[in-house]
Amino acid sequence: MATTAKQDQPVETFETDPDRYVHWKLAVNGAIARLTMDIQEDSPFRPGYELKLNSYDLGVDIELHDAVNRLRFEHPEVRCVVVTGAKDRVFCSGANIHMLGMSTHGFKVNFCKFTNETRVGIEASSAESGQRYLAALNGACAGGGYELALACDEIMLVEDSNSTVSLPEVPLLGVLPGTGGLTRLVDKRKVRRDLADLFCTTAEGVKGKRAKRWNLVDHVVSRSRFEEAYMKRAAELAAASPARATEGVELTPLRKSVEEDRVEYSSVVLTIDRNNRRGTLLVKAPEGDQPDSPEAIRAEGAGWWPLRAFRELDDALLHLRFNEPEIGMILLRTEGDAGAVLAVDETLKTNTGDWFVDEVRMFIGRTLRRLDLTARSFYALIEPGSCFAGTLFELALSADRSYMLDDPDRPVELAVSAMNGGAYRMSHGLSRLEVRFLGEPGKAEEILEEAKAYDPQDAEEAGLVTVVADDIDYEDEVRVAIEERASLSPDSLTGMEASLRFPGPENCDSKIFARLTAWQNWIFQRPNAVGERGALTLYGQPERPSFDYRRT
C-alpha cells in the first residue's frame, strides 16, 4: 500500500485541553455534560485527506481521550455524559478511510489500539466513576462511530428515513471493525449471533425499530423529539448515579523535555539506544514530604507524585508506540527511596473512598494496562538504588522478565504492598500477582498477608523475580538476555507476548485487545485488503476489489 513521508513523521504531543479542541465541543451543565462531535474536515491530523462526514483520525481521538480524562478529574459533579454530533443527519462515519489508506501498517494498528483504549476508558468512567455515557445518534452512524456508541451505556438513535447504525468494514473494506465492535456487539450488547452476522455483512446498516428490536440500540426517537428525549434520559441516568464532589482538580500540562534520543519528565525518563534497538524507562520515587490527607492531596492536585508520575509514564508509552517503532526492547528501571513509594501506597489505601484518591488509583491502573498492551518486550532490572516497591513493583510484575542483582556489598530489595492486591487489575480482571501465581492457588494471598520487603534470595524463593544472579554473573546474564531478545522476529515476539501476558479467564476487554493484536495485524497486511486490488486500497474508486478466495 502506498504511504507518504508525512505518515512517518512523529506525533509531537498527545496532550491537549478543551481550549485547543478542534473537533469536539465540551459543555458542562451541572450533573450533565455534552460532548459534541463537530469534526472540521479541513483539519486532519496530517495532510493528505479530508475528514468528511464526521470521520475521525488520531487527532480527533486524542481530543476525546483528553475529554474523558478531564471529565473524571476536573468535573466530578458530572454524572451523565451525552455524546452527540453537530453535523446534519450524520453522527459519525467512522475512521477516515483515506487516512487508513495512507498509513503505514504499524500506525494503523497503534491507532486502532489507542482508539479502543479510549473506548475502554469511557466504559471505565461509567463503571468506576459513575459517569454514565449516553450516545445520542443524531444521524447515520457507521464503523468506528458505531463502535464509539457501543462503548456508551445506552444508545439513542434518531428515527427518520436515512439514519442507520452499521459496521460496514467487512463488505466495503475487506477488514474488521478496528476498535472492538464485533466483540462488544455479542459480548456486551448480547446481540444474537445470527443477527450480528447479518448486521456485519450489510453495508447499508439497520435503521429505526429494527435496530432496537435487534438490540443494536436502546431507544429510537423521532427527529422532532430527539433532543428533548435524550436530555430527559440523560437526567434520568444522572439521577441514578451517586454524586461524588462539586469541585474537581485541574489536569495541568506535563513538564516535558524532548530530545532526539531522550524524553525527560519530572519523574520519568525515556532514553533511546537506536544502535541496539532498545530503550530504558526510568521511574523515580517521590522526593520530599508527600501529602497524606484528602485536603492536602487535592491541594497538591496534578502535582501529586502518583498522578504526575503515571501521567508521564502514560505519555512516554504513547511516544514509544507511535514514534519509536524500531525500539523493540524496553528496560524498566526505578530509582529512589522504596520507603517513600510505600508511604504513598499507604496514603492511597488509607484514603480509599475519597473521590480524587480513587481517581488517581484508577488512572494508575489504566496506565499499567496500557503498558501490558504495548507491543514491546519489557525487562525489569532490579538493582542497587531501585525502588520496585508496591505500586512501582507493578512495573516488574508487568514485565516479561525481571532480573535482580544479588550482591552483599550492594544490597537490593523489592517490596510488596496492599496496592499489589488488585488495586491495578489487568484488562482481563486479575491482579498481576494472581496472574503470576495462576498455577499456585492461594500464593498471591499469602504474599499479600505479609506485604514485606524481599532480598534477592527471598524474592527468588517466593517466585517474585525471573532470575537472581550474583555480582559476577549478573551483567553478562542481562546482556546476553537482551541481545538474544533483540535477535528474534519482532512479529513472533508480539504474538508470543500478547498470548503469555494474559493467562486465565477472558472478559470483553481482553477479547477485544487479543483480537486486535491477532486479526488486525494479519488482515491489515493481506492483499485482499491492502493489495493493489484490495478493498481498502480501492475504496472510493470505480474499480471493484479482486479477492483471493482461498481460506487459510
Of 64-68, 371-375, 440-444, 535-539, the range with the lowest mean pLDDT is: 535-539
> Rounded to whole angstroms, how far apart are CA atoms 518 and 522?
6
**CATH code of residue 286:** 3.90.226.10
Amino acid residing at 128: E
Q: How confident is the model at residue 551 (pLDDT cuts 50, 70, 90)?
A: confident
188, 206, 239 - which closes a domain? 239
Residue 294 domain-assigned?
A: yes
Is the confidence at residue 316, as pLDDT, over 60?
yes
Q: How confident is the model at residue 13 (pLDDT cuts 50, 70, 90)?
A: very high
Is the confidence at residue 26, as pLDDT, over 50?
yes
Residue 525 domain-assigned?
A: no
- Integer-rounded Cα radius of gyration of the chain: 24
Residue 183 domain-assigned?
A: yes
Is the confidence at residue 7, as pLDDT, over 60?
no
**Number of structural domains the chain divides into:** 2
> How high is the pLDDT of residue 140?
97
From residue 134, give the alpha-carbon distance in Å to each of 38, 161, 233, 372, 373: 17, 22, 8, 29, 27
What's this model's pTM, rounded to 2 decimal places?
Answer: 0.95
Residue 369 domain-assigned?
A: yes
Q: Which of 371, 409, 405 is nearest to 388 (CA)?
A: 405
Average pLDDT value for residue range 20-47:
97
Residue 249 domain-assigned?
A: no
Asked if 111 and 165 sit in the same domain, the reply is yes
> How high is the pLDDT of residue 3?
37
Residue with cell string 428533548: 228
Phi (first) and psi of residue 528, to 5 degrees:
-60, -25
Asked if 297 and 377 sit in the same domain, the reply is yes
Average pLDDT value for residue range 133-152:
97
Average pLDDT value for residue range 325-343:
97
Query: For residue 487, how many other CB atoms are within 10 A of its CB?
Result: 7
Domain range for 334 is: 256-500
With pLDDT > 90 as the criterion, what percentage of the chain qualifies? 89
Show the beta-strand stretches assigned E in 138-173. 140-142, 154-159, 164-166
Q: How confident is the model at residue 61 (pLDDT cuts 50, 70, 90)?
A: very high
463, 478, 500 - which closes a domain? 500
Asked if 204 and 273 sit in the same domain, the reply is no
Is the confidence at residue 52, as pLDDT, over 70?
yes
C-alpha cell at 134: 449516553
Average pLDDT value for residue range 345-353:
97
Asked if 93 and 185 sit in the same domain, the reply is yes
Asked if 329 and 206 sit in the same domain, the reply is no
Asked if 464 and 433 sit in the same domain, the reply is yes
Enumerate the β-bridge partners of residue 155: 135
Of 77-91, 240-254, 510-524, the range with the lowest mean pLDDT is: 510-524
Is the confidence at residue 95, as pLDDT, over 50?
yes
Q: Are 393 and 423 in contact (CB under 8 A)?
A: no
The angle, 0 to 180 degrees and rounded to 10, between the axes of the packed helices 105-129 and 144-151 is: 20
Asked if 180 and 217 sit in the same domain, the reply is yes
Of 98-107, 117-126, 337-346, 467-476, the range with the lowest mean pLDDT is: 98-107
Q: How confident is the model at residue 80 (pLDDT cuts 50, 70, 90)?
A: very high
Residue 205 falls in which region: left (phi positive, over 0), alpha (psi -120 to 50) or beta: left
> How high is the pLDDT of residue 2?
36
Average pLDDT value for residue range 266-287:
97
Asked if 220 and 121 sit in the same domain, the reply is yes
> How high is the pLDDT of residue 269?
98
Is the confidence at residue 5, as pLDDT, over 70?
no
Asked if 387 and 463 sit in the same domain, the reply is yes
Of 83-87, 199-203, 530-534, the range with the lowest mean pLDDT is: 530-534
Is the confidence at residue 483, as pLDDT, over 90?
yes
The residue ranking higher by pLDDT, 451 or 111, is 111
What is the residue-averaged pLDDT of the chain? 94
480, 500, 520 - which closes a domain? 500
Is the confidence at residue 4, as pLDDT, over 50?
no
Average pLDDT value for residue range 156-162:
94
From residue 110, give the alpha-carbon distance in Å to each of 3, 26, 150, 280, 333: 16, 26, 20, 20, 25
Residue 542 domain-assigned?
A: no
> How high is the pLDDT of residue 163?
96
Q: How confident is the model at residue 8 (pLDDT cuts 50, 70, 90)?
A: low
The residue ranking higher by pLDDT, 2 or 464, is 464
> How high is the pLDDT of residue 245?
93
Is the confidence at residue 178, as pLDDT, over 90?
no
Asked if 196 and 320 sit in the same domain, the reply is no
Asked if 205 and 337 sit in the same domain, the reply is no
> How high is the pLDDT of residue 1?
34
* Per-residue pLDDT tens digits for 419-458: 999 999 999 999 999 999 999 999 999 999 988 999 999 9
Average pLDDT value for residue range 289-302:
96
Residue with cell string 484490495: 534
* Per-residue pLDDT tens digits for 377-415: 999 999 999 999 999 999 999 999 999 999 999 999 999
Asked if 224 and 294 sit in the same domain, the reply is no
> How high is the pLDDT of residue 141?
97
